[in-house]
Amino acid sequence: MNMLDGLNPMQREAVIHKDGPLLLLAGAGSGKTRVLTHRIAYLIHEHQVNPYHILALTFTNKAANEMRERVDGIVGYGSEMIWVSTFHSTCVRILRRYIDHLGYERNFTIYDADDQKTLMRDICKYLNIDTKKYNERSFISTISHAKDELKDASKYRSEVESDYGKRIFADVYTEYEKRLKNNNALDFDDLIMKTVLLLRKSEEVLTYYQSRFRYLLVDEYQDTNTAQFILLSLLAKANRNLCVVGDDDQSIYKFRGANIYNILNFESIFPDAKVIRLEQNYRSTGNILEAANGVIRHNKMRKEKTLWTAAEEGEPLSYIQYPNEYEEANGIVHSIRRKARKDGTSYDSFAVLYRTNAQSRIFEEKFIYEGIPYRIVGAINFYARKEIKDLLAYLKTIENSNDDISVKRIINVPKRGIGLTTIDRISVYSIEHEVSFYEALQNIDYISGCGRAAPKIKSFVALMEALKNHEEDSGRSLTDLINEITDETGYVRELENEGTEEAAARLENIAELKNKITHYEESETENPTLSELLENIALVADIDTLDNNSEQVLLMTLHTAKGLEFPYVYLCGMEESVFPGAMAIYQGDEAEIEEERRLCYVGITRAMKKLTLTSAIQRMKNGDLHRNQPSRFLNEIPRFLLAKEAKEAPKKQKKAEYSPEKASIFHTGKKNPFAGNPYIQKGIKGSEPDYGVGDSVRHTKFGTGTVLTMNKLKDDYEIVIEFENFGQRKLRSSFAKLSKV
């Protein structure tokens, strides 16, 4: 097979480049993953580079898995020696081997956002900080930003010492780092920062990885922060074979610490770098690309590039201005339903994109009402659900009993009669004696005021020690371990006895966690360990769990949509103060407006066939009605590309006078304005259901059930249904949206 077949001239040039720095400016949909995988294969097959010496980095597990599959397919034998992973996974792998150089134990725990919040609450309480005055999230955000810039607590304190208002942040950062170290835990920012610290501290470790990774390939380079840039610089310094792929026009994560200057200044840092522009787009129609180019060229802080395609121009973009946000949501939902019914288009071909999560509520209500399957990407992550967090805390405690956050979470879950006062006394003891919370539990006889709770605490410690012995038993599996946890703790039994719908849903989630663990043991690794399982779970992002085979309309923010593509995209809320957001406008900072414009560019380039942009003349915000001008980004799209459909503004309603003749549209002698409209007609009260007692019906939320009784009301039917998973429900026919099975 010729590895250059099917590549355009610029892609081919990128693939055959061998040594020295390489910057690939890859526009949206330009086939960058194809270029990266072919470049890896070319290095191996044509330049005889050992796969052992190649490291490919990206940002999400989804992207890493896709790249891994493609690399395995094209490289073949030896591809397993190539490291293809996310930044965080790579750093975890390095730290698991060498973190003892920094004074940590190798079985460290990785804290997620919820763990950080719990720890921060403890710290604020310990330092007597008024959380009404100082929000806990502001401390976490400040610390995260400092770590992105490789500033430890000491360096941060030296920078803010003269600023009285920020000294408290330095105090919190210092205590936060102390607690993490005592808990043998790292947060996500630490994974990068500690790896950089390790490489800087140990010449031996640095030399090893510089020799190991002689060729580095980095995807989505525009999303890197300062710490990640330094990490790459250290690894690539010896061989200078650093290939980065990115698009400055898609740099939209400044709020997460992304530094756009990493890509803008690449040629200044590496003067001998070769620069190749990938501008041919393989995703979108010509009109969509023209619109994207028209918007993004208004940015000054960018590298010049113009997307183009050899494909057809396609349909014009649609712009619809609705009277308000409710009409906007209603119009989009009906448009999707019409398209699905008319052409048989699958619902997973549609995506609704918005600037903020708050905009999703109205859409969710409309989709439920119309019975259209949907999913909000960015809703609560599976691993953030209470029952899953509880069981993971048991697993974390077994792996690392120094993890105070996990131990405190489960000490009274299920309830063991251990009160908060007792837990506070144990916490004080652990801090004063500089031991972990778990060690303090083991010393319960020496803690005053805990005598009555001592037997319960000893029982808990005995349980955890037994579970630890299970984990150390090489003959027992992780599936056996999770089953023993749920059985011995009585966690599942308590939910079963509860007998509520919520408990049933939680039991289903626990069953799914067990499925995950079994699948991990069977397919993820030859020698599965609890440590690796917890890493695998900790590094999963919500977008990584997206099921590409699920026939659902996807609703998501523009930030979440990056990297995805859909045949039909609805970009809503195209109004000043909504998109671009009010903060960007009121700050008067052109850099903020440019970031918003890049976000718009990302949204436009998600569409493959058809893009519809919508706005509302007036929108409710904080309980007040606001009238907004159309977004400036609409004006930056060439007029000939837009097919505009305007809606009338809502008129101010006069107080209606009641009369029997006007009380119902069905008794005035006038034609029913809803007649012939399948989307509204379906919800008219009084229509007789097409199902009866004993029939099987389906509900969008409760699933399949059997009709038990039907009671005729004045203008509706009251129906009692026995659902398979939710028991008996009493519903109104006009609102239930039931379909006969």
Residues with a catalytic annotation lie at 32-33, 219-220, 250, 606
**Gap between the Cα atoms of 653 and 648, Å rounded:** 14
User: In the structure encoding, which two tokens stand for residue 248, read together?
Assistant: 């400055």
Eight-state DSSP code of residue 415:
-
The alpha carbon torsion through 368, 369, 373, 378 (nearest 10 deg) reads -30
Helices (H) and strands (E) in the chain, counts: 31, 21
**Gap between the Cα atoms of 326 and 616, Å rounded:** 9
Which region holds residue 151: left if phi is over 0, alpha if psi is between -120 and 50, else beta?
beta
User: In the structure encoding, which two tokens stand for residue 112, read together?
Assistant: 């997620």
Nearest partner of 555 among 285, 346, 359, 341, judged by Cα: 359
Q: Looking at this protein, which amino acid is placed at residue 550?
A: S
Q: Which residues pair with 732 in a beta bridge?
A: 718
Report CA torsion sign: 121, 126, 128, 129: negative
Distant-in-sequence, close-in-space partners of 693: CB < 8 Å, separation ≥ 6:
707, 708, 709, 710
Tell me phi and psi for residue 393, to 5 degrees. Answer: -65, -35
Contact 580, 356 (CB under 8 A): no
The 242-246 sheet, strands edge to edge:
83-86, 54-58, 215-218, 242-246, 22-26, 274-278
Three-state DSSP at 528 gives coil
Q: Looking at this protein, which amino acid is placed at residue 529?
A: T
Report CA torsion sign: 191, 196, 201, 205: positive
User: In the structure encoding, which two tokens stand for residue 385, read together?
Assistant: 């659900």
Question: Which CA distances in Å does 442 have to 201, 356, 399, 455?
Answer: 36, 47, 17, 11
Question: Which CA distances in Å does 1 have to 41, 45, 74, 76, 240?
Answer: 11, 11, 9, 12, 29
Contact 341, 679 (CB under 8 A): no
Count of C-beta atoms within a 10 Å radius of residue 715: 11
Nearest partner of 539 among 69, 89, 190, 187, judged by Cα: 89
Nearest partner of 664 among 635, 685, 643, judged by Cα: 685
**Gap between the Cα atoms of 253 and 232, Å rounded:** 19
Q: Which residues of 278-303 are buried (b: 16+ CB within 10 A; e: fewer)?
A: bbbbebbbbbbbbbbbbbbbebeebb
Contact 4, 258 (CB under 8 A): no
**Gap between the Cα atoms of 681 and 367, Å rounded:** 16
User: In the structure encoding, which two tokens stand for residue 319, read together?
Assistant: 């712009």
Q: Where are the beta strands (DSSP E) in 310-459?
A: 317-324, 350-354, 374-376
User: In the structure encoding, which two tokens stand for residue 572, read together?
Assistant: 């809503």
**Gap between the Cα atoms of 53 and 44, Å rounded:** 10
